[in-house]
A and B are shown apart, each in its own frame.
Chain A
Amino acid sequence: MTTRTLAVIAAGLTQPSSTRLLADRLAAATETELSRLGIEHRTTVIDLRQHGRDVMNNLLAGFPTSQLKAVVDTVAGADGLIAVTPIFNASYSGLFKSFVDILDERSLVDKPVLIAATGGTARHSLALEHALRPLFVYLHAVVVPTSVYAAPEDWAGGPDPNGGGPLTAPLHRRVGRAARELAVSMSQREPRPAADPFALTTSFSDLVAGS
């Protein structure tokens, strides 16, 4: 069975970061679901903070450093992506968007993506739907229906209001549902072939013929 690759990008700025914490929870849950589906998998977690200068230099100079190139290739080549950002001023963070801006515009086409965010108040949760989802839809990614938002109170855990135990807290259930959707979406696709930016998409005779 071919191994599927899962890339996780976390755009939190602090260390430790609640954004990274949420990313790890989502990654672990997705791995569990992939295993349940009998799919071998390999996960790479990317803390964007560690690449902050490289990301900005890429925007200014036009090319990635070799280290950043490896990160970009990991995301482009992944069979699934978990994208987690803090919400700043009602949208994704600048670092998060800057990273997305340096990706090749084709690198997310038909890629299953789980979007998630953290924020200081639950009132910002719809930023996932009005900012992140349109961004990834624009890039022709397949965004799973469930997005996951974690406000400070979500980390409290505690008993489920419906009578379940602590582990069935709303955030936990939501993480599980989103992870299932992502794993199923990944399982429905063939492993992604390595992207080749130097590949021609049309023959030269077609180019000359103007087609």
Chain B
Amino acid sequence: MIAVGGTPEIMGLRREDGVQFGIFSVGDVTPDPTNGRLPSEHERIEAMVTLALKAEDVGLDVFASGEHHNPPFVPSSPTTMLGYIAARTTRLILSTATTLITTNDPVKIAEDYAMLQHLAGGRVDLMLGRGNTAPVYPWFGQDIRNGIPLAIENYALLRRLWREDVVSWTGRFRTPLEAFTSAPRPLDGVPPFVWHGSIRSPEIAEQAAYYGDGFFANHIFWPAEHTRRMVGLYRERFEHYGHGSADQAIVGLGGQVFMRPSSQDAVREFRPYFDNAPVYGHGPSLEEFMAETPLTVGSPQQVIDRTLEFRTYAGHYQRQLFLIDHAGLPIKTVLEQLDMLGEEVVPVLRKEMNIGRPADVPEAPTHASLLAARDSGTPSVVGESPS
């Protein structure tokens, strides 16, 4: 069934809670280090879809897919996958982590995500990122050394394509446009909300702040102090550009968890996956990585306690995405993680994270809230560049 847009009830505004919870998937095809079994691409793609559907079943709010154009990753075509998931879900917000704003044609992003908005009834936002795989740039006609200028120019064009019916444009990186109309137009004339993801580039925090967009700190590969500084910079500049006070900026954080009822079991089971993980395997020990980054391997209560600490350095934030399905973990195990997230962790976090949350800290914008803000004539504090 395709959900059709228009009314808030079916478009993701459903709880009084302030924080959205979800999962983000890199989509890596990695052998299971405990038995050497390598899933096929087909199996991995189906597993991602299964996870997304299950995420809705257990009461999570968001599923975000990575975008990659090199093995061992499968998700090269996120809107195809998200469109399929949209047809099989009714509440789940579909997002990306991240959409490559550097090597994708901004015209194609404008078209693809507007189309997805229509199919998903507005349950769509996206997170833009640069991508750090050097060869991907030339494969798409670009140069990684232009990463930041590409992100800046392409996004400026993307915004115009969604907000202006007819666009004439010239720039440095793309062929000029004369009297171009991107179709379909965004659902209800409201472009998808945009997050900007960056691990270490202050320019991207600045970009998010300038436009009043969301800022997503990947968080999972770096120490808390680093995330504190990046989020703090974004909040300070969000206020500087007049979108609201610093604590009203729209912040998302990554997290990485592995749970079993007993923490000893969790550590024992997860260790081989950690030790052989593509990104950090064969480096720091699990214990060192847990001490230095938000990775939490333990009981659901430990995950709750750790996640509640994020606010102490990132402030009250709007979206929490967990990475749970990488490094060769079998789908059965990952689905068990989702059960625990949905049954034991997220309900508590929803409640706890509302305690002490100031009334003027907004929720993450949804299609419904952006539409309502526009129709009521209230200028939205987010999503619009300074005039």
Contacts and interface: CB of A to CB of B under 8 A. Distances in A.
Contact of B292 (A59, A66, A197, A199): A66
B140 interface: no
A207 B155 CA distance: 12
Interface residues of B, number: 30
Interface string A168-211: 00000000000000000000000000000111100010011010
Contact of A210 (B153, B206, B221): B153
Interface in A11-68: 56-57, 59-63, 65-66
Nearest to B222: A63
Contact of A208 (B152, B202, B282, B284): B152
Contacts of B71: none
B313 interface: no
Contacts of B200: 197
Contact of A198 (B153, B171, B229, B288): B229
Contact of B223 (A57, A63, A204): A63
B203 A200 contact: yes
B189 interface: no
A198 B289 contact: no
A31 to B, nearest CB: 32
A32 B233 CA distance: 42
A199 B283 CA distance: 30
A203 to B, nearest CB: 9
A60 B156 contact: no
Contact of B221 (A59, A62, A198, A208): A62
A59 B284 CA distance: 10
B230 interface: yes
B169 interface: no
Interface string B83-127: 000000000000000000000000000000000000000000000
Contacts, number: 60
B273 interface: no
Contacts of B284: 57, 60-61, 65
B282 A60 contact: yes
Contacts of B293: 63
Contact of B207 (A60, A69, A197, A204): A204
Contacts of B226: 63
A200 B292 contact: no
Contacts of B203: 200, 204, 207
B145 interface: no
A57 B288 contact: yes
Interface of A: 56-57, 59-63, 65-66, 69, 197-200, 204, 207-208, 210
Given A61-B289, A66-B292, A204-B207, 9 more contacts: A57-B288, A62-B222, A63-B222, A63-B292, A65-B292, A198-B229, A199-B202, A208-B152, A210-B171
